[in-house]
Structure 1
Amino acid sequence: MAQIALAAPVSLKADSVPTTAPTRASTPRGRLELTRRGRFILIGLPVMLAATALLVLAGIFTAPVMASDASDTTAVEATTVSVMEGDTVWALAEEFAPQRDRRDVMAEITEMNDLNGSVLVPGQEIFVPTGD
């Protein structure tokens, strides 16, 4: 490969060449220059955190209350029964609420006593709904 070199005229002016190198004392120190990322970290991130905190607080104070309302609950008459050998939830539902559907009474017995299934232990005290 052939190389071609071109020479360009160069001229130097005496006043364009600095006589002394700039010192640290001569540079201005007043203003801090931030990069785009630096501005984001210094200004944007705290602003976003404050906005998030305000939104969370607004959500907490404006959210509807989810507590149960006393008007939604109905009082159920119940009696305490000591479980005997051979008792089942079905039999207790039939004995203490014969006029009601046994499946509904069984569900109430299970819910009132926090039972897992229909297993009863002899000597166990449970609440059984009575009446309507």
Structure 2
Amino acid sequence: MRALVIDDSRAMRTILTRTMDSLGFEVEAVGDGAQALEAVQRGPLPDVCLIDWNMPVMNGLEFIVEVRKNRDWRDITLMMVTTEAEQANIVRALAAGAHEYVIKPFTTEIIEDKLSMLGLL
């Protein structure tokens, strides 16, 4: 299984990469939504993307909208992992096509539980 970690924080990319690696995923990490879109276009397609909301160039919500425009990418599982905790933002992300929403700070167990619920573990 392949995971794409999308976060502008180097520390958070490291934490999520280690978490996903420990769960058996092959991981690529990038710093913004535009880099993530390039990675998806380049392939191979990730099984899951872990996406921060607030990033330069292209934010997480914009990335989700772009991914959902392409039918060839409909099987990619999209999970927000962000500090954005407002109910309205959670609703916006899920309405745009995110499958799950994790609010930072999180534990490895939370990520593992969400991935299990999504059928990825």
Q: TM-score higher than 0.5 here? A: no
Normalising by structure 1, report the TM-score: 0.20
Query: Highest relative contact order (Cα 8 Å, sep 6+), 1 or 2?
Result: 1
TM-score (norm 2): 0.21
Counting helix residues as a fraction of each chain, which structure ranks higher?
2
